[in-house]
Amino acid sequence: MDKKLVIAMVGLPASGKSTVSSKLRQCLAGEGLVVGVFNNGDVRREMCRGFDSACSEFYAPENRDGVALREKIALINLERAAEFLAGKGDVAVLDATNVSSRRRRVIKEFLTGYPIFFVECVNQDPELLAASISRKARLAEFSHLNFEQAQESFRERIRYYNRIYQPLGDEENFVVLDTLNNRIERERVQAVLPHYRFVRDLLVSDWVPNMYLARHGETTFNLEMRIGGDPDLTPRGFKQAQALARHFGDIPLPYVFVSTKKRTRQMSELLCQDREDCRVVALPEFDEIDAGVCEGMTYDRIARDMPQIHAARTRDKYNYVYPGGEGYVTLKERVERGVKKALYLSGNAQNIMIIGHQAVNRMILSHFLFRRTEDVPYIYIPQDRYFHIVSTQSRKLFELVKFNG
pLDDT range class, residue 293, cuts 50, 70, 90: very high
> What is the spatial distance between Cα 385 and Cα 29, in angstroms, rounded to a whole number?
33
How big is the chain by its Cα radius of gyration, in Å? 24
Q: Which amino acid is at 31?
A: E
Q: CA nearest 212: which of 355, 63, 74?
A: 355
Q: In the chain, what are the domain boundaries?
A: 5-203, 208-402
pLDDT of residue 345: 87
Question: Which of 182, 222, 348, 361 does the annotation list as catalytic?
Answer: 222
Average pLDDT value for residue range 62-90:
94
- Tell which wins on pLDDT, 19 or 405: 19
**Which range has the top average pLDDT, 67-71, 122-126, 374-378?**
374-378
> What is the spatial distance between Cα 98 and Cα 52, in angstroms, rounded to a whole number?
21
The reply to whether 197 belongs to the active site is no
The reply to whether 215 belongs to the active site is yes
Question: Which of 263, 313, 367, 385 does the annotation list as catalytic?
Answer: 263
Indicate the average pLDDT of the chain. Answer: 92
Asked if the model's pLDDT at residue 50 lies above 80, the reply is no
Question: Which of 215, 247, 362, 367 does the annotation list as catalytic?
Answer: 215
pLDDT range class, residue 126, cuts 50, 70, 90: confident
pLDDT per residue as tens digits for the range 142-153: 888 899 999 999
pLDDT range class, residue 51, cuts 50, 70, 90: low
The reply to whether 357 belongs to the active site is yes
Asked if the model's pLDDT at residue 52 lies above 90, the reply is no
Instruction: Check if 5-203 and 208-402 are the same fold.
Output: yes
pLDDT of residue 301: 95
Q: Is 272:253 a contact under the CB 8 Å cutoff?
A: yes
The reply to whether 326 belongs to the active site is no
Fold of 208-402: Rossmann fold (3.40.50)
- The pLDDT > 70 percentage for the chain reads 98
> What is the spatial distance between Cα 233 and Cα 218, in angstroms, rounded to a whole number?
6
pLDDT per residue as tens digits for the range 171-213: 999 999 999 889 999 999 998 899 999 999 999 988 899 999 9
Question: Which of 141, 218, 285, 288 does the annotation list as catalytic?
Answer: 288
Fold of 5-203: Rossmann fold (3.40.50)
pLDDT of residue 110: 96
Question: Which of 25, 216, 313, 385 does the annotation list as catalytic?
Answer: 216
Question: Which of 157, 313, 357, 367 does the annotation list as catalytic?
Answer: 357
Asked if the model's pLDDT at residue 405 lies above 80, the reply is no
DSSP 179-241: TTTTEEEEEEE-S--TTHHHHHHHHTS--EEEEEEEE---BHHHHHTB-SS-PPBPHHHHHHH
Average pLDDT value for residue range 316-339:
95
pLDDT of residue 125: 85
pLDDT of residue 140: 80
pLDDT per residue as tens digits for the range 24-46: 998 899 899 999 999 998 888 88
Report the phi/psi class of residue 373: left, alpha or beta, with left for phi > 0 and alpha for psi in -120 to 50: alpha
pLDDT per residue as tens digits for the range 78-101: 999 999 999 999 999 999 999 999
Picking from 106-115, 252-261, 342-351, which range would have the lowest pLDDT averaged per residue? 342-351
The reply to whether 63 belongs to the active site is no
Average pLDDT value for residue range 254-258:
96
The reply to whether 45 belongs to the active site is no
pLDDT of residue 49: 62
pLDDT per residue as tens digits for the range 218-254: 999 999 999 999 999 999 999 999 999 999 999 999 9
Q: Which long-range contacts (CB under 8 A, 24 or more apart) does 157-162 make?
A: 157/13, 157/56, 157/59, 158/12, 158/13, 158/14, 158/133, 160/56, 160/59, 160/60, 160/61, 161/12, 161/13, 161/59, 161/97, 161/99, 162/12
